Amino acid sequence: MPPSTDLNDALMARARQIIPGGVNSPVRAFRAVGGTPRFVRRAQGAYFWDANGQRYIDYIGSWGPMILGHGHPAVLEAVQRAAAEGFSFGAPTEREIELAEEIAALVPSIEMLRLVSSGTEAGMTAIRLARGATGRSKIVKFEGCYHGHADALLVKAGSGLATFGHPTSAGVPPEVVQHTLVLEYNNVAQLEEAFALHGQDIAGLIMEPIAGNMNFVRATVEFTRRCRELCTQHGALLIYDEVMTGCRVALGGAQSVYAKAIPGFAPDLTVLGKVIGGGMPLAAFGGKRAVMEQLAPLGPVYQAGTLSGNPVATACGLATLREIKRPGFFESLSAKTRRLTGGLSAAARQASVPFCADCEGGMFGFFLLPKLPQNYGQVMQSESSRFNTLFHGLLARGIYIAPALYEAGFVSSAHSDEDIAATIAAASEVFQALRL
């Protein structure tokens, strides 16, 4: 085989020598779709350029954070200014207060919050807090939902692991997950049965309000209502994992969308990440004051972090939030995302390809299925070979979507109407290869 002139191949071969799988997060390895990951040389707006200098329209945007596109001038300027003042202090700063106040103003269910460095850290701590605050051990999660790679939550995760077909991670001792009840998403009967059996032992229920780790599966209003009611009835905490949906599907996150259908709806704890950090390592968890004050140094639940509330990351997050709260931002972003999913659906119909799509705010998903799935088992009916054909057909045309059919897609304010049109045109061509 002649040596590859493709610089992505060369970089992947070199990366594999020193980094497991050549990547620092499994989904980036293209294992589910085959082929060589694109090594990003630089990104700007809605685009990135790979090692070969090939340009792609980016619908991953770092898996959600880049809601303004890459290199937004106001965010870049804020990060540069903050970096010049110091990278990290391990001491409190005013900007952490500003960001906490900004987030609490956007998400009214959050009375207090703590900043951490990743969604995993935030989700893991929210679980510990629920257990500490209630004195109970059991946690309810749902098959296909992913809440980061903390041991107790790495059970039938829908992101990464499901793609590799290993619903439970090696290295997680059975005793660590013995308290984690994994139920079927959107299955009200099963949920009610679980609470009838274990309600008094359940510390918390954690859920993705819109499961972006099953590509895009909405919790039904009835299911959401019952999760709230049963947690209240049994004294368990409802933990809304909005790492992906927070400030992405709406300024106030998915909880603001569901509160329109369920008056007064609010979770007890919310986990946030991605957009609130604007692409820098920053996440958060927050909720009712009485619960949050159980945290050290006030209360008995320990949590800590060297880089928690990092001054450069908080500058990036604050600048991002200040841009997305501008009047009209979400209306425009939502309309753009709808144009994309509407155009893809029309193109698939034109080619008689079974296809369905859904979106909310700047987040979208699609399935090569006749109708939207409601749970993990239905998502699993997707044929990965057909998805892989679509993925590589789009990639060859400079369109970069998630390299796994279980992942959602993201539109930014930097995506132009021309980018959306070009994406739909590229998909039209690829759908021809998927005609049944």
Give me 30's structure tokens.
């293209």
Nearest approach in angstroms of CB 17 to ligand KE4 is 21
What is the number of other CB atoms lying within 10 angstroms of the CB of residue 136?
Answer: 21
Q: At what angle do helices 94-106 and 311-324 cross, to 10 degrees?
A: 30
- 273: contact with ligand KE4 by CB under 6 A: yes
- 213: contact with ligand KE4 by CB under 6 A: yes
Which strands sit side by side in the sheet containing 138-142, from one edge to the other?
112-116, 283-287, 269-272, 237-242, 202-207, 138-142, 180-183
Q: Which residue has the tokens 């290869």?
A: 433
CB-closest chain residue to ligand KE4: 119
What is the number of other CB atoms lying within 10 angstroms of the CB of residue 332?
Answer: 12
- 120: contact with ligand KE4 by CB under 6 A: yes
Residue 170 CA from chain centroid, whole number: 23
Out of 138, 156, 274, 336, which one is annotated catalytic?
274
138 counts as catalytic: no
> 11-40 mask for ligand KE4 (x: CB under 6 A)?
--------------x-x-------------
- 134: contact with ligand KE4 by CB under 6 A: no
Q: What is the DSSP letter of 151?
A: G
Out of 56, 59, 146, 376, which one is annotated catalytic?
146
Nearest approach in angstroms of CB 429 to ligand KE4 is 28
Distance of alpha carbon 232 from alpha carbon 360, whole angstroms:
27
Stretch of 144-152, 344-352, 383-391, 411-419 lying at the interface with ligand KE4 (CB under 6 A): 144-152
> 169-208 mask for ligand KE4 (x: CB under 6 A)?
---------------------------------------x
Nearest approach in angstroms of CB 63 to ligand KE4 is 4
- 95: contact with ligand KE4 by CB under 6 A: no
Choose among 327, 340, 357, 310: nearest CA to 420: 340
- 160: contact with ligand KE4 by CB under 6 A: yes
Give residues 50-69 in contact with ligand KE4 (rule: CB under 6 A).
63
Measured from the CB atom, is 143 or 241 closer to ligand KE4?
A: 241
Nearest approach in angstroms of CB 193 to ligand KE4 is 25
Distance of alpha carbon 71 from alpha carbon 47, whole angstroms:
10
Nearest approach in angstroms of CB 102 to ligand KE4 is 20
Measured from the CB atom, is 56 or 146 closer to ligand KE4?
A: 146
Report the chain's C-alpha Rg in angstroms: 21
Out of 50, 58, 141, 241, which one is annotated catalytic?
241
The answer to whether the Cα torsion of 25, 27, 28, 29 is positive or negative is positive
| H-type alpha helices, 148-245 | 161-164, 174-177, 188-198, 221-234
288 counts as catalytic: no
- 118: contact with ligand KE4 by CB under 6 A: yes
**How distant, in Å, are the alpha carbons of 65, 391, 400 from that of 56?**
17, 13, 6
- 244: contact with ligand KE4 by CB under 6 A: yes
- 159: contact with ligand KE4 by CB under 6 A: yes
**How distant, in Å, are the alpha carbons of 54, 120, 282, 351, 357 from that of 291?**
49, 19, 21, 53, 38
# of chain residues touching ligand KE4 (CB under 6 A): 21
Distance of alpha carbon 46 from alpha carbon 70, whole angstroms:
7
Q: Among 70, 147, 179, 248, which residue sits at the site for ligand KE4 (rule: CB under 6 A)? A: 147
Is residue 24 within 8 A of residue 32, CB to CB? The reply is: no
Is residue 283 within 8 A of residue 115, CB to CB? The reply is: yes
Stretch of 33-41, 112-120, 194-202, 305-313 lying at the interface with ligand KE4 (CB under 6 A): 112-120
- 243: contact with ligand KE4 by CB under 6 A: yes
Nearest approach in angstroms of CB 208 to ligand KE4 is 5
Measured from the CB atom, is 159 or 334 closer to ligand KE4?
A: 159
Distance of alpha carbon 90 from alpha carbon 76, whole angstroms:
23
274 counts as catalytic: yes
- 123: contact with ligand KE4 by CB under 6 A: yes
- 212: contact with ligand KE4 by CB under 6 A: yes
Q: What is the DSSP letter of 45?
A: B
Give residues 369-428 in contact with ligand KE4 (rule: CB under 6 A).
407
**Residues taking part in catalysis:** 146, 241, 274
For binding to ligand KE4 (CB under 6 A), which residues are involved? 25, 27, 63, 118-120, 123, 146-148, 159-160, 208, 212-213, 241, 243-244, 273, 283, 407
